[in-house]
A and B are shown apart, each in its own frame.
Chain A
């Protein structure tokens, strides 16, 4: 519903939407800079920053050494002193090298100093399996960071949200991690022609329905929409709620949808254990227990490192069939 932003739109890719967001914010605000490996001359390993180095120069688009903790650390210091750095981590797995800077420093400095500073930092990082990149280039680690007070985490599922959420993240005065799904960089979708933002902390109902709620994140939204089309042919109208923002979390939209439908399936690509699906399932049972007509089901990434061979990798990621099967199991 909230995604029905004002027309006119044009069709662009998730990748280009990200690039546009950065370019616009860099034009709007001189304090916005981009740091990362290969983000400059080569336009990024996923080509998300093509043209930025040419337009803004090597002072504002910094090709860093391959030292993630280092340049995220520099970004924290720059953010505390008046800049709005965007640090690109290429593969989200590399965020694990930056844990001290993100978790002990960025997330805590404002609080520890009694509100003396702002850490206006954006970290862009990719997530998602499906490219045969194996266990160290395929993880979906958003739950780790959503667990940390002081951080904000968003997880866009389409080009329009990718642009609008990234712009909000850059303008936000707090550390925000933006998880981009690397399997969606080529996805094309409608994006408003004029400037817009998607506020942090607003879920989005991507499809309305009254029979069951599918709560999904990132590329799982796409799968849920496919499942919903298939279910519609059977006469089951699923509502697809895109969480979009893990923190701040728009719990109300999730809960209201479940109160309406009486059923919920939660789909997230991160590992099942202690993850996003468990958190949201718990929230729904706490706030919508009396409206539920069945257990809240979870579909998540398998609890194994992501394997290399496609024959092994694909079974570890949720798919449309599992979503449909879960709905069938609830509704008989």
Chain B
């Protein structure tokens, strides 16, 4: 069974697409920071980042489990492998800063402060979920911590994030908005429209493109007219940076720069974070459009949790045992979230008619 999809994938790969990963130079920040490691934030921040990445990983592993056991309806798009981007970025943000997320949104929600219980309950369609069971996996929002919501429309939130930034500017609130989107959404026209207004009005918004290299099943090179999506920033009249999205510390550094700039009123930044999803487009997608080699290379070399753990050990912030302890703690929390979500009641049918208008 393992061989057939592999062969298929290799045969169907377009000739122009080079084998990914090993032959590709490791993505780096497009600014001067090429040869040095990112500055280490305060230990508390680093610990926060590690813990949040583990929360996302474990949460998603359990979503996989819950899905394959038939305990949740709908679709689940997992963020496993991309944790460095959401966490590196959200660790820079205040509670009142805004984010907008995507159909692959669990990671952003956790990173911005969502509780695992409410998320798991929502995913299972329960009343105690973040959206009272009306949104599900693709629409989790937590306005209390500035999470304006995941979005089922690819590229659907460019306007919302940019509008939140306009609102922040007009209210002189000092808030910023981070718009997460993928390489697929980078080809949507609304990006051009929103980015243009962000530039002409100096809006405090950061467009954070998570280039996980596949738009659903299609390699991004096959459908994207630039080799590096960040090159489009120049066309918008916007500063752009490219960063290794598997390196949470590098993401943190780049986003810190962009957020500081935005808070000062100096306008938007475009960031392209190179990353990779370790699972298929959604649970159930066997991802036969990419090779096992390619996947293995990313998992071996670019696991954001392993990379940060190594960094922490090297810097003397954490021991192996401490990291393991965090993982065990989080595992328990996620198991508890699954159990409480399973036991939680479904919404009463008449709740379908609530929450439409305020």
Q: Which residues of A contact B (CB under 8 A)?
A: 31, 33, 59-60, 62, 64-65, 67, 69-83, 85, 100-101, 104-105, 109-118, 149-150, 152, 173-174
Contacts and interface: CB of A to CB of B under 8 A. Distances in A.
A71 B132 CA distance: 30
A101 B201 CA distance: 21
Contacts of B299: none
B98 interface: yes
A150 B177 CA distance: 25
B153 interface: yes
B84 interface: no
Interface of B: 98, 100, 129-135, 139, 141-143, 148-149, 151-153, 156-168, 170-171, 177, 189-190, 192-194, 196-197, 200-201, 354-358
A85 B135 CA distance: 25
Given A112-B149, A174-B358, A104 B132 contact: no
A75 B153 CA distance: 17
B171 A77 contact: no
Given A80-B160, A114-B131, A116-B141, A74 B149 contact: no
Contact of B171 (A82, A110, A114, A149): A82
B304 to A, nearest CB: 28
B193 A114 contact: no
B197 A77 contact: no
B98 A81 contact: yes
B159 A72 contact: yes
Contacts of B142: 116
Contact of B153 (A64, A81, A104, A113): A104
Contacts of A74: 159, 162-163, 166, 194, 197
Contacts of A76: 159-160, 163
14 contacts: A59-B170, A67-B192, A69-B193, A70-B197, A75-B159, A77-B148, A77-B167, A77-B177, A80-B143, A82-B171, A101-B156, A105-B157, A110-B356, A112-B141
B134 A83 contact: no
A77 B161 contact: yes
Contacts of A112: 131, 134-135, 139, 141, 149
A82 B161 CA distance: 13
Given A82-B171, A111-B134, A75 B163 contact: yes
A64 B197 contact: yes
Among A60, A77, A118, which residue has the most Cβ atoms of chain B within 10 A? A77
Given A113-B139, A118-B358, A71 B197 contact: yes
A101 B100 CA distance: 14
B190 A105 contact: no
A24 to B, nearest CB: 19
Contact of B193 (A73, A82, A104, A113): A73
A15 to B, nearest CB: 27
B270 to A, nearest CB: 16
B207 to A, nearest CB: 13
B357 A60 contact: no
A114 B129 contact: yes
Given A76-B159, A81-B163, A69 B148 contact: no
Contacts of A62: 201
Contact of A105 (B129, B156, B165, B168): B156
Among all A-B residue pairs, the 3 with the closest Cβ atoms? A73-B159, A77-B163, A70-B193
Contacts of A85: 163
Nearest to B163: A77
Nearest to B98: A81
Nearest to B131: A114
A65 B197 contact: yes
B170 A115 contact: no
A154 to B, nearest CB: 14
A113 B134 contact: yes
A217 B182 CA distance: 44
A93 to B, nearest CB: 18
Contact of B159 (A59, A60, A101): A101
Nearest to A64: B197
B56 to A, nearest CB: 21
B134 A77 contact: no
Nearest to A70: B193
A117 B163 CA distance: 15
A65 B193 contact: yes
A69 B159 CA distance: 8
B193 A67 contact: yes
Given A83-B170, A110-B356, A65 B156 contact: no
Contacts of B131: 112-114, 116
A81 B134 contact: no
A74 B355 CA distance: 23
Contacts of A104: 152-153, 156
Contacts of A109: 141, 149, 160
A248 to B, nearest CB: 9
Nearest to B143: A116
Contact of B148 (A67, A80, A173): A80
Contact of A115 (B132, B152, B156, B197): B132
A59 B196 CA distance: 16
Given A70-B197, A115-B354, A78 B167 contact: yes
Contacts of B135: 112-114
Contacts of A100: 153, 156, 190
A173 B190 CA distance: 25
